[in-house]
Structure 1
Amino acid sequence: MSDSMRAVVVGAGMIGAVHTRAIRAAGGSVVGVVASTPERSARVADEWAVPARYPDLPAALADDSVTVVHVCTPNALHVRQAEAALRAGKHVICEKPLATSAADAERLTRLAREAGLLLAVPFVYRYHPLVREIRDRRLRGEFGAWQLMHGSYLQDWMLSADAVSWRVDPLDGGPSRAFADIGSHWCDLVEWVAGVRFTEVTARLGTTVATRPAGTSASFSTAAGGPRVQVRTEDVATVLLRTGDGVLGSLTVSQVSAGRKNRLWFELDGSMGSAVFDQENPETAWLGAPDGARILMRDPGHGSAEQRRLSHLPAGHAQGYGDCFAAFVADAYAAIRGATPEGLPTGADGVRSARLVEAVLASAASLTWTDIASAPAALEASA
């Protein structure tokens, strides 16, 4: 077999297309795509210029030449499909959430570890070069002891009362929507950059659109008229968090904030300095000090080694989400070959995210501060 990773993408929606582009950018080969039916699989394979025609996932897993499987299907399918791939001896990159329960996420992560296979989860915002720069400055002690962490993740794609997605239905998307979908990204990013672990939360969830059009298999669509069903997942969330050292954090999450397309924003305030990052403006970071503030530009000629490694375009030539995804896939493939790339999010990070989601749901139900359960030590050690 050649050194090139031979990948099968399971799921033919928007995120499957993102994975396909990232695989190719990382030097891998997309040899097959598995969609909801054999007919759709063949049609998408033609659209994406994919050579193989697999009628279903078992057929793809039976191909000994396949190295890695990218699971890009609705959330409720992740565990079954990722487990099948791991048991077939394939490495797995599984979209988040890794599972809709922490117990399933732990089981999947343990299976991958025991089989000696990579299980990676695309918390790709870690791969913005200036995110790496902020983290490096934290490691060097530039910000001092943390005083406060705060931010938001805002979108507007569910603002219309006629907007619908499989994510709305708990049977397909899981019991949490807005927090599990995007709040989990914020928590992963802040914990990793700041080097903290949130230990307890108090959360409130809100559903601002009471009913939406019934049923869809699409990631997103609009459907005026016809039957409507009650919405059982949240559109918005507010979360207070506390670290083991007593540092407070706050997070606002929304999928109904007009004009906000994908605004993941955080501020980390330390005793010596502060840092701000806005995912919609990833070429700059704001750094605060007692005597003022300055804007830091992404520049491959300056800054930390990781910032320079991930800055593959000259300063002033914008990089963004697609570049992050390609860098994540490249690091995952490097790990399959035996490297240990810094910051690669793995199954243990998927377990961590699932436990955060469960704590938020429990807190919202009880209206109390709720502990975030720790993953087993063996899983944490594999992160």
Structure 2
Amino acid sequence: MTESSESVSHAMPAPLGVGIVGGGFMATVHSRAARAARAHLVGVSSSRPERAVAAAAELGIDGAFASLEELIADPGIDVVHVTTPNALHAEQALAVIEAGKHVVCEKPLATTVADAVRLADAAASAGVTATVPFVYRFHPLVREARARFASGETGRLLTIAGSYLQDWLLDSADDNWRVDSAAGGRSRAFADIGSHLVDLIEFVTGDRVSRVAATKRTFFDSRAEHAAITTEDAVAVAVQTAGGAIGTLLVSQAAAGRKNRLHVELSGSAESVVFDQEQPETLWVGRRRGSLLVPRDADQLQPDAARLVTTPAGHPQGYQDAFNAFVADTYAAIAGDDPDGLPRFADGLRAARVSDAVIESAESGAWVDVAA
């Protein structure tokens, strides 16, 4: 070892300190992603102090905080992940921002457009990184589809056929806090999963939904632990885009056999692309002559898609991998980078406006313009 090399310090930067609010399924997903990004999981808070202790043990997090206030006061925490029921998002995310911390807030960002505006404005004013996990953007083949639209390879967008189908609320005995509008908000199925569908369509095509005509159904107004349910189990929507395309969307949490099937077929004047989240290893590209299946193979993809490939072709990637990539890009933004396609609070506000227009249309029976 030379004298000069002995005198040079190569200290690694301290890992990002992470706090998590909430202790359910999404907290588990967020914690895995934070760990994959080599962050330090400092602590968790939950609905009750004892639940926070249990969550810390379950998730392998260092500490448990008795309240959100105690968590955000910890100087070792740089970013807070909000994974609580929807009605708590606005108040909790705002508290994080006001404490000067970066924030990742589950969608829907808020249960009203007014609260979503307040959060987006607060994040912008505070200069913090504030993101929403529209994680399907981080499938490599979604980025490949986006690159085809951006390059003009698909031509002009003509039609959209999209669906997001699940069956976890198929039976009246199935229940969850999300069915209660006081906890989940005015919209359930569309705000919960339809928001992902619209975000994916707009992200890939670069076009925006401008008008909607919707109908909704609540198949069970009573479930195991809830009565007088008003939130929807399914929504069907006709859409028009700013660029002149037309299409249909079907969103349901009562579609037997469908576990998490987000499916989009985007037809352009030169070619169509189809992405199926349950089968994310191939992208179908339809042409009048010579249709093909594009594999998730870095050697065959555009650079922005290839960078998200973490395993060789033939070794499947899935939902957690997409979530890990979203969190990694969020942490890169905190460090000063500007990752392309990172969904921020402005995108959460956009989703709130689309959801609001869909429910307004379903209740009025009329076409409704989506606010810009």
- What does residue 366 of structure 2 align with? 368
Instruction: Give secondary structure in 1 for the equivalent of 2:158.
Output: strand
Please tell me whether residue 244 in structure 1 is matched to residue 255 in structure 2.
Answer: no
CA distance in 1, matches of 2:140, 2:305: 4
- What does residue 15 of structure 1 align with? 26
CA distance in 2, matches of 1:359, 1:287: 31
Instruction: Give secondary structure in 2 for the equivalent of 1:82.
Output: helix
Please tell me whether residue 355 in structure 1 is matched to residue 339 in structure 2.
Answer: no
Alignment check: 8 A CA contact 1:300 1:312 kept: no
Alignment check: 8 A CA contact 1:212 1:230 kept: no
1:248-279 alpha-carbon deviations (Å, 9 max, x no partner):
02100110011100000000101110000000
Alignment check: 8 A CA contact 2:158 2:244 kept: no
- What does residue 214 of structure 1 align with? 225
Structure 2 counterparts to residues 27-46 of structure 1, below 5 A: 27-46=38-57
Structure 2 counterparts to residues 321-332 of structure 1, below 5 A: 321-332=319-330
How big is the shift at 1:302?
2.1
- What does residue 4 of structure 2 align with? none
- What does residue 336 of structure 1 align with? 334
Give, as a single letter, the amino acid of the residue that structure 1 aligns with 2:276.
Answer: D
How big is the shift at 1:2?
4.2
Alignment check: 8 A CA contact 1:163 1:212 kept: yes
CA distance in 2, matches of 1:293, 1:179: 32
Give, as a single letter, the amino acid of the residue that structure 1 aligns with 2:44.
Answer: V
Give, as a single letter, the amino acid of the residue that structure 2 aligns with 1:25.
Answer: A
CA distance in 1, matches of 2:254, 2:72: 39
- What does residue 264 of structure 1 align with? 262
Please tell me whether residue 301 in structure 1 is matched to residue 312 in structure 2.
Answer: no
CA distance in 1, matches of 2:314, 2:192: 31
Instruction: Give secondary structure in 2 for the equivalent of 1:213.
Output: coil
Give, as a single letter, the amino acid of the residue that structure 2 aligns with 1:131.
Answer: V
Give, as a single letter, the amino acid of the residue that structure 1 aligns with 2:149.
Answer: R
How big is the shift at 1:230?
2.2
Deviates more, 1:15-24 or 1:287-296: 287-296
Q: Of residues 68, 74, 81 in structure 2, which corresponds to 1:70?
A: 81
Structure 2 counterparts to residues 1-383 of structure 1, below 5 A: 2-215=13-226, 229-374=227-372
CA distance in 2, matches of 1:10, 1:53: 10
Alignment check: 8 A CA contact 2:263 2:277 kept: yes
Alignment check: 8 A CA contact 1:300 1:313 kept: no
CA distance in 2, matches of 1:272, 1:281: 24
Q: What is the percentage of aligned positions where both structures have the same residue?
A: 50
Residues 1:45 and 1:310: Cα distance change in structure 2 (over 3 Å)? same
Alignment check: 8 A CA contact 1:150 1:268 kept: yes
Deviates more, 1:284-293 or 1:126-135: 284-293
Alignment check: 8 A CA contact 2:163 2:263 kept: yes
How big is the shift at 1:140?
1.1
Give, as a single letter, the amino acid of the residue that structure 1 aligns with 2:300.
Answer: H
Alignment gaps of 5+ in structure 2: 1-11
1:334-355 alpha-carbon deviations (Å, 9 max, x no partner):
0011101010000000000000
For the aligned residue pairs, the C-alpha RMSD in angstroms reads: 1.0
Instruction: Give secondary structure in 1 for the equivalent of 2:298.
Output: coil
Alignment check: 8 A CA contact 1:71 1:93 kept: yes
Structure 2 length-normalised TM: 0.95
Instruction: Give secondary structure in 1 for the equivalent of 2:299.
Output: coil
How big is the shift at 1:26?
1.3
Give, as a single letter, the amino acid of the residue that structure 1 aligns with 2:349.
Answer: V
CA distance in 2, matches of 1:279, 1:143: 20
Deviates more, 1:314-323 or 1:285-294: 285-294
Alignment gaps of 5+ in structure 1: 216-228, 375-383
1:96-140 alpha-carbon deviations (Å, 9 max, x no partner):
000011111111111111111011000000000000001111111
Instruction: Give secondary structure in 2 for the equivalent of 1:43.
Output: helix
CA distance in 1, matches of 2:266, 2:300: 22
CA distance in 2, matches of 1:13, 1:310: 27
1:234-256 alpha-carbon deviations (Å, 9 max, x no partner):
00100011012321021001100
Structure 1 length-normalised TM: 0.93
Alignment check: 8 A CA contact 2:42 2:76 kept: no
Give, as a single letter, the amino acid of the residue that structure 2 aligns with 1:66.
Answer: I
Give, as a single letter, the amino acid of the residue that structure 1 aligns with 2:52.
Answer: S
Alignment coverage as a number of residue pairs: 361
How big is the shift at 1:307?
1.3
CA distance in 2, matches of 1:253, 1:157: 13
CA distance in 1, matches of 2:16, 2:326: 14
CA distance in 2, matches of 1:146, 1:246: 8
CA distance in 2, matches of 1:51, 1:207: 42
Instruction: Give secondary structure in 2 for the equivalent of 1:163.
Output: coil
Alignment check: 8 A CA contact 2:208 2:243 kept: no
Alignment check: 8 A CA contact 1:334 1:341 kept: yes
